[in-house]
A and B are shown apart, each in its own frame.
Chain A
């Protein structure tokens, strides 16, 4: 469909200089069948050799060219092939002519400027200065005008000009194309996925804060301590090391209070956990003998004052009170 037109300028330098514009090939689109809004593309291929280069800064700039035509874009690339320099220029035009009848209009021609077309730089002469430099072997090339036939979109039916018209505009106008239905399936899937992520995060959050379904049973340090002490004594057949037993019970106190409990803290501990108030004298003697055991080195005295059996009984009492309160 796209016809191409090659205009070859075989330009031989008069002075035999190696610099030359070898060819300007123009690939044109079709020349007819255009409507308002159409975009057409022209491709220009410029081949130079030697020192000659296309002066790309002088190519037309995108923007309105005439009242009916815009140059939408112009792109150019440069490549080397077999010692020649090849410029590919792509010009994109858009037509804004609202034709009442089929009409031919011309895309204006534009010149191409070169650096060292012969041996002189293009800025060596003022633009528009005629042939002052022609003796220097200065050649030029240009992209010629392109004539286009632009057609109206529909039949023109003007009431006063065509009194005997037989068709209405509505008969001519065609309905708009039915809108294409956009598929919502991906969005629905994404929504479902998000909902699933939200649910999982919610569950994780509940578990993090230990809210209802994940609320664990209140810890019972004394119950666990009692179990541990009994296990130890059973394993050691009643002769478990006294210090270990003390430590187990100490850790239970610490866990129950949320901090380290020393002998001096016993009144405060009882004030906070009133259910142990009845055991207060026993707690006191437990802490006293623990002090003796750990800090005075008088271990025998500690064990005499508060023997293992007493300690086991105290752990049992504490555990019982703990369970009773829970």
Chain B
């Protein structure tokens, strides 16, 4: 039915030598440690990004200005290795700007060269979209296909990027000259990770006074390049998904959570000053829930378990699901608080197992 259970535990039907999940786990932890060298005080964000990388999901980072969103993504791209491309979202960026650019060469002849999305061909492993909400909806829709199908059509040819991960960030301070991401585009991100300023004294002190954080380029260059082999991640991801067990009790639990999110009143959820019967307009898509289980399997694997437990789901539920829950317009302005309380109360009320 859905997901592997015990009987499919050893269903590794590929001709390649089987991957050793234990070895891979330790290199995943290495990967985390390498990123942590460049980004301090963001252990949770790093863990979530690691989960996304091994679940082969795209990530949207959101946070204040100057908290290290870009640095974090560059560090991840560096540790992941492979070809890396970035583009800055601007209001006049058009989809074609991502695919090709035109110029006059030294002989005065017009030339058309592949743009950032095509330049590296199949090897592109990280496509980093900075300030995504500054780009127009046309660009968002191109991205939609790039994210969902990992392919684009250009120059009468279909280009496929099997190893591609899209990382995007946006700051949540300004709203001027920005375009809200359409729900369909947001739904294609595995996670929306909120980045905040580190709160513990040591991290803050280090960020302010350690000289290695002053120059980001040097900092990123000091990281080991390609801690994991990004070309094998797709296969690893499918092995993880086929190995980590989701028991019937957990399936039941995930389904209950899903119902509770879509119909909070039926689960007895209560939120102060909110009429929960009218709270939810839609969302919590089936794709979102399947992403959630995918991420939960990776989370369990990273914690060294061969089974998914409710804690895994609870741990990643907010980053995976919060942006997929759509509230009725009257509650939309208080979205952050309400979604947080909704998720907290759903986990407090839905019994597991």
Q: Which residues of A contact B (CB under 8 A)?
A: 247, 250-251, 254, 258-260, 262-264, 291, 294-297
- Chain B hits for A250, CB < 8 A: 351, 353
- Chain A hits for B308, CB < 8 A: 295
Q: Which among A250, A291, A295 has the greatest number of chain B C-beta atoms within 10 A?
A: A295
Q: Does A263 contact B311, Cβ atoms closer than 8 Å?
A: yes
A242 to chain B, nearest CB (A): 13
CA distance A259 to B352 in the complex (A): 11
CA distance A316 to B81 in the complex (A): 56
Task: Check B347 for interface membership: any CB of A closer than 8 A.
Answer: yes
Given A294-B250, A295-B245, A295-B353, is A263 in contact with B309 using a C-beta cutoff of 8 Å? yes
- Chain B hits for A247, CB < 8 A: 353
In the complex, the number of residue pairs spanning A and B with C-beta atoms less than 8 Å apart equals 47
- Chain A hits for B5, CB < 8 A: 297
Chain B: number of interface residues, binned into ranges? 20 to 34
A296 contact from B307, B311, B314, B352, Cβ within 8 A: B307
Task: Check B1 for interface membership: any CB of A closer than 8 A.
Answer: no
Given A262-B309, A264-B311, is A295 in contact with B348 using a C-beta cutoff of 8 Å? no
B347 contact from A259, A295, A296, Cβ within 8 A: A259
Interface bits B1-38 vs A (CB < 8 Å: 1, else 0)? 00001100000000000000000000000000000000
- Chain B hits for A251, CB < 8 A: 351
- Chain B hits for A297, CB < 8 A: 5-6, 245, 247, 307
Least CB separation from A296: chain B residue: B307
B118 to chain A, nearest CB (A): 44
Q: Does A260 contact B249, Cβ atoms closer than 8 Å?
A: no
Q: Which among A250, A258, A264, A297 has the greatest number of chain B C-beta atoms within 10 A?
A: A297
A170 to chain B, nearest CB (A): 74
Q: Does A291 contact B348, Cβ atoms closer than 8 Å?
A: no
Task: Check B306 for interface membership: any CB of A closer than 8 A.
Answer: yes
Q: Does B247 contact A295, Cβ atoms closer than 8 Å?
A: yes
CA distance A295 to B352 in the complex (A): 10
A291 contact from B309, B350, B351, Cβ within 8 A: B309
CA distance A296 to B5 in the complex (A): 9
CA distance A251 to B352 in the complex (A): 9
Interface bits B304-326 vs A (CB < 8 Å: 1, else 0)? 00111111001000000000000
Least CB separation from A291: chain B residue: B309
Q: Does B247 contact A260, Cβ atoms closer than 8 Å?
A: no
Top 4 nearest A-B pairs by Cβ distance? A259-B348, A296-B307, A294-B249, A294-B353
- Chain A hits for B307, CB < 8 A: 291, 295-297
Q: Does B350 contact A260, Cβ atoms closer than 8 Å?
A: yes
Least CB separation from A258: chain B residue: B348
30 intermolecular pairs with C-beta atoms under 8 Å apart = A247-B353, A250-B351, A250-B353, A251-B351, A254-B351, A259-B347, A259-B348, A260-B310, A260-B348, A260-B349, A260-B351, A260-B352, A262-B309, A262-B311, A262-B314, A263-B311, A264-B311, A291-B307, A294-B247, A294-B250, A295-B249, A295-B250, A295-B307, A295-B309, A295-B353, A296-B247, A296-B306, A296-B307, A297-B5, A297-B247
